[in-house]
């Protein structure tokens, strides 16, 4: 998904060439190929049985279906602008089987509408169960104080179309690295990376510790594309995308593969992405291959390595899935990243040199990338190692 130009506070206009439509009555595209696996089966626990619902009686949105922000097997994401609800009888049909006692625990987390929504729609009828499960997970997470500091704000599940209503953010961590960091000359990239990496790495590790220790959730699909950057300055989002200020907060997104530790899925989910999977997840033994907090730590370490070197550590495998699987199984992501790539090695060495005495980045990543999951640090310990005296670092691009 590319960078998203969000409307400024002064003019809530959608992107160029919009096709704005009311979301009600949307017909679903044809179902995706029958690759539907147990991802839709993790109906976490009775306590997660009812998702927080989008307040259709008091809020609504106009959705741009002409230019999706992203598409995938399970869902399509569209930009939407907050609007006043219609008052027709059909539009005000109550949610299916409302249970006030269940929903009351989410009332305190209801907030004013954001500048723009990201509407995550099921890609087909078979995918509705997947998004419903994600809605339940996000409902639990968003009910916990300060969740907005760790995960993308969730405004509720829309029962009219089976969509998740989230805050629209301008870009992902993957976008930032590929579109803004990598095109820079070596010296500028190095200084920009030095300015942003310590705070972002620490923030992501702390948020993962919150996810594991406070909420008891496993994310199960951590990667740069599932981390969104929220502007923290007063600049309009459209300006913040190209701002020279390091004013972004990384937040975890896409909880379609996530589950509560007290109720893991019966089978390994299909949500993980190969380049960010831990070696044990390739095992044919279901118990060994199931996502764990340790595999989340490994995925975060590969993600941070991606930020540093600008590519997957397994990029040399190209489209050869057999070779990539073999490389991942070796449990040597750091070695594959730098041993035969002078540019990647130099980028890591430059960052280590610039942060010398403040944070031993290479050592932290090597510990988190241990092949044996028992040898990896917990997310909280990883955060402790990554915490540095930031002082007043130079602003990143």
Using the structure block, give the residue that is written with the tokens 């380049």.
Answer: 275
Helix (H, G, I), strand (E, B) or coil at 105: helix
- For the chain, the domains span 20-167, 171-386
Q: What is the DSSP letter of 264?
A: -
Per-residue confidence (pLDDT) for residue 48, from 0 to 100:
63
Q: What is the signed CA dihedral for 327, 328, 331, 334, rounded to 10 degrees?
A: 80
The answer for 11, left when phi > 0, alpha when psi is -120 to 50, beta otherwise, is: beta
Q: Which of 166, 154, 124, 141 is CA-nearest to residue 40?
A: 124
Residue 185 neighbours by CB distance under 10 Å: 7
Sign of CA dihedral 15, 17, 22, 27: negative
Sign of CA dihedral 181, 187, 193, 196: negative
CA gap 378, 38 in Å, rounded: 27
**CATH of the domain spanning 171-386, picked from 1.10.510.10, 3.40.50.1980, 1.10.10.60, 3.30.1360.20:** 1.10.510.10
In CATH terms, the fold of domain 20-167 is Phosphorylase Kinase; domain 1 (3.30.200)
To the question of whether residue 100 is assigned a binding role by annotation, the answer is yes
Give the CA distances from residue 67 to residues 64, 70, 76, 154, 357, in Å, rounded to whole numbers and listed in that order: 7, 9, 10, 22, 47
Using the structure block, give the residue that is written with the tokens 């997104």.
Answer: 253
Q: pLDDT in tens for each of the 397 residues of the chain?
A: 555 555 543 333 333 323 333 443 333 333 333 332 333 333 444 356 789 999 988 899 999 888 898 888 889 999 999 998 764 444 445 544 444 444 545 544 446 889 999 999 999 888 899 999 999 999 999 999 999 999 999 999 999 999 999 999 999 999 999 999 999 999 999 999 999 999 999 999 999 999 999 999 999 999 999 999 999 865 544 444 444 446 899 999 999 999 999 988 776 444 679 999 999 999 999 889 999 999 999 999 999 999 999 999 999 999 999 999 999 999 999 999 999 899 999 999 999 999 988 889 999 999 999 999 999 999 999 999 999 754 443 334 4
Q: Residue 340: beta bridge partners? A: none
pTM of the model: 0.81
51 neighbors 105 (Cβ within 8 angstroms)? no
The two tokens of residue 340 are 């035969």
Please report which helix (H) or strand (E) contains residue 164, including its range. strand 163-167
The separation between CA 295 and the C-alpha centre of its own chain, rounded to angstroms, equals 16
Strands 70-71 and 75-83: antiparallel
């Amino acid at each position: 998904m590319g960078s998203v130009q969000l409307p400024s506070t002064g003019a809530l206009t959608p992107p160029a060439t919009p096709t704005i439509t009311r979301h009600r009555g949307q017909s679903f595209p044809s179902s995706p190929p029958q690759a539907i696996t147990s991802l839709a089966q993790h109906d976490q626990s009775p306590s997660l049985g009812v998702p927080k619902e989008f307040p259709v009686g008091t809020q609504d949105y106009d959705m741009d279906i002409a230019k999706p922000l992203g598409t995938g097997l399970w869902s399509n994401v569209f930009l939407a602008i907050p609007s006043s609800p219609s008052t027709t009888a059909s539009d005000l049909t109550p949610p299916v089987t409302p249970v006030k006692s269940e929903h009351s625990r989410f009332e305190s987390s209801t907030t004013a509408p954001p500048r723009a929504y990201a509407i995550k729609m099921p890609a087909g009828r078979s995918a509705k169960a997947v998004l419903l499960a994600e809605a339940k997970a996000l409902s639990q997470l968003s009910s916990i104080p300060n969740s907005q500091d760790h995960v993308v704000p969730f405004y509720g599940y829309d029962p009219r179309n089976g969509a998740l209503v989230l805050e629209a953010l301008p870009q992902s961590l993957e976008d930032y690295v590929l579109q803004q960091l990598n095109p820079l000359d070596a010296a500028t990239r190095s200084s920009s990376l030095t300015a942003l990496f310590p705070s972002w790495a620490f923030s992501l590790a702390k948020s993962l510790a919150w996810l594991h220790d406070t909420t008891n959730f496993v994310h199960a699909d951590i990667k740069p594309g599932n981390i969104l950057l929220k502007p923290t300055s007063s600049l309009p989002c459209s300006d913040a995308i190209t701002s020279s200020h390091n004013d972004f907060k990384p937040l975890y997104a896409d909880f379609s593969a996530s589950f509560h530790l007290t109720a893991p899925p019966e089978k390994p989910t299909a949500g993980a992405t190969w380049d960010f999977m831990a070696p044990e997840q390739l095992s044919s033994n279901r118990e060994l291959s199931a996502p764990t907090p340790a595999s989340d730590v490994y995925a975060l370490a590969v993600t941070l390595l991606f930020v540093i070197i600008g590519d997957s550590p397994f990029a040399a495998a190209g489209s050869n899935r057999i070779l990539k699987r073999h490389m991942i199984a070796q449990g040597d992501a750091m070695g594959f990243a730098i041993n035969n790539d002078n540019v990647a090695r130099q980028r890591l060495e430059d960052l280590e040199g610039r942060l010398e005495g403040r944070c031993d980045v290479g050592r932290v990543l090597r510990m988190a990338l241990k092949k044996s999951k028992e040898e990896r640090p917990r997310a909280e310990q990883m955060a402790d190692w990554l915490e540095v005296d930031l002082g007043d670092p130079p602003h990143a691009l």
